[in-house]
Amino acid sequence: MYTDGKIWEKMLELKVFRIEDIIKALNPPKPLYGWVKEKVRSLIASQLRLNILRQVVENPPLFATEDATPEDIEKYKKTCPICNSQFFPKQETQEFCSAECKKNHYKNYHRRRRKAMGMRLDSRRRWTTAELKALEPLLRRNAKKGELENIAKQLSRSKWAVEKKLKTLRKEVKHATTNGN
């Protein structure tokens, strides 16, 4: 079922591939996954020694058959949406060329989300005494949804942040009253 001939057939079909691409194409059951992976590695190593395959990129290891054209290799490249540089992905799902670009993408993504929600961009700021005093009337009773949204807007905080702070303040009040303070 997973003979050298079958593996070689998949290599010829793909022309440019990583080890994971061949294994995905063969789709072995989980118990055989490690054995098939080792068999693919062994076949690639022997074909490299015989100059039947060539290694296009060292990291991540990318291989090509003799009949692979430069266009086939270029199709394998991806473009980073942050810095627009081209790179060979280590995994099929990799979107960014580096961890730095990925970090910048998610930083910008969360900044846009906070801005769209009407939150300040410098969130996670400490609660001031004036803000805490504005929450005092809500401590002793359950606030309605509209009230929370209005106070959140006044304080330039999210509704979620106001709800969370009220919850922690109620716990503190409850703890203080049970301890006799």
Average the pLDDT over each of 31-45, 89-103, 162-176 and give the range with the smallest value: 162-176
User: What is the structure's pLDDT at 171?
Assistant: 86
Task: Using DSSP, state whether 57 is helix, strand or coil.
Answer: strand
Instruction: Give the rounded percent of residues in the chain with a pLDDT score beyond 90.
Output: 49
Alpha helices per DSSP H over the chain: 4-14, 19-26, 33-49, 70-76, 99-116, 129-139, 145-155, 159-178
What are the pLDDT digits (tens) for 39-95?
999 999 999 999 999 999 898 899 999 999 999 999 989 999 999 999 999 888 999
Give 116-167 pLDDT, tens digit per residue: 876 666 656 788 898 888 888 887 777 777 788 888 888 888 888 888 888 8
Instruction: Count the Cβ atoms, other than its own, within 10 Å of residue 135.
Output: 16
Q: Domain-by-domain residue ranges, the chain? A: 4-68, 78-116, 129-178
pLDDT on residue 65? 93
Fold of 4-68: Arc Repressor Mutant, subunit A (1.10.10)
pTM, 2 dp:
0.58
Q: What percent of the chain has pLDDT over 70?
A: 94
The band of 37, judged by pLDDT with boundaries at 50, 70 and 90, is: very high
Query: In the 3-class helix/strand/coil scheme, how is 29-51 assigned residue by residue?
Result: CHHHHHHHHHHHHHHHHHHHHCC
Three-state SS sequence of 62-89: EEEECCCCHHHHHHHCEECCCCCCEECC
